[in-house]
Amino acid sequence: DAGVIQSPRHEVTEMGQEVTLRCKPISGHNSLFWYRQTMMRGLELLIYFNNNVPIDDSGMPEDRFSAKMPNASFSTLKIQPSEPRDSAVYFCASSAGGDTQYFGPGTRLTVL
Amino acid sequence: GQNIDQPTEMTATEGAIVQINCTYQTSGFNGLFWYQQHAGEAPTFLSYNVLDGLEEKGRFSSFLSRSKGYSYLLLKELQMKDSASYLCAVMLPNRLAFGKGNQVVVIP
């Protein structure tokens, strides 16, 4: 069984550039979550979707961040323009009916 | 707001027992999860408690007291591979709120 798939695994970009992170949830899971993890703030929920619909985006730091889920098997998190303080590991997780969440391997983002 | 507290780091010897505590004050509670996260890797599910008491799963056990807003994860017969961060997470309506994690270092 494939777990949650994320790409890219590493991204290095310059300040001001657009960054797009991708996630494929576990097949059959109807909830998808985007998290950001830093040493200072730990693991923070950015946004989550239920049945492809955004339910809670209160964790999205500002308008530079946007997320979409066009279908049940794909989601994107976009940062435009990126800033050095966005450097973090971004995790995608999925669950079936709000149960245990299973995390992808993460994308390590570095903004120079 | 949500407040989930864990000690930041502890060191223990291989073969020993270690207890990792978590206290929480949250608006809503639907259960408590423990996750293990090795350096550079994703969090992986360890246990879930929704009722008071102890849940045992091999070398790992998790305890919950809802009235005290308290949980602990007990790791027995510590192995070097148990060196990791252990995150507790409270299930709120439709989302998880994570603590910052407790880094456990196992030494020979």
Contact criterion met (CB below 8 Å) for B41 and B68 = no
pLDDT at res. B95: 81
The CA distance from B5 to A96, in Å, is 27
Burial A76-88 (b: 16+ CB within 10 A, else e): ebebeebeeebbb
Residues sharing a CB contact under 8 Å with residue A40, sequence separation 6 or more, in sequence order: none
B 60-89 near A (Cβ less than 8 A): 87
Rounded to the nearest 5°, which phi and psi values hold at A84? Answer: -55, -35
Model confidence at B72: pLDDT above 90:
yes
A36: buried, middle or exposed (CB in 10 Å: 19+, 13-18, 0-12)?
A: buried
Is the Cβ of B9 closer than 8 Å to some Cβ of chain A?
no
Burial class (CB in 10 A: 0-12, 13-18, 19+), B81: exposed
Helices and strands, counts by H and E, chain A: 0, 11
Chain B CB contacts of A98 below 8 Å: 91, 94
What mean pLDDT comes out for the span B99-108?
A: 94
Q: Which pLDDT band, with edges at 50, 70 and 90, does A98 fall under?
A: low
Supply the pLDDT for residue A99: 74
Q: Which residues of A touch B95 (CB under 8 A)?
A: 33, 45, 48, 56
Token pair 């603590």 is found at: B99
DSSP string computed for A1-21:
----EEE-SEEEE-TT--EEE
Q: Is the pLDDT of residue B7 over 90?
A: no
- Tens of pLDDT, residue by residue over A53-83, are 999 888 898 899 999 999 999 999 999 999 9
Mean of the pLDDT values across residues A26-37?
A: 95
Q: Which of A33, A50, A100 sits opposite B45 (nearest CB)?
A: A100
Mean pLDDT (whole number) for B30-46 = 95
Average pLDDT over residues B48-70: 95
- CA–CA separation, A71 vs A49, rounded Å? 11
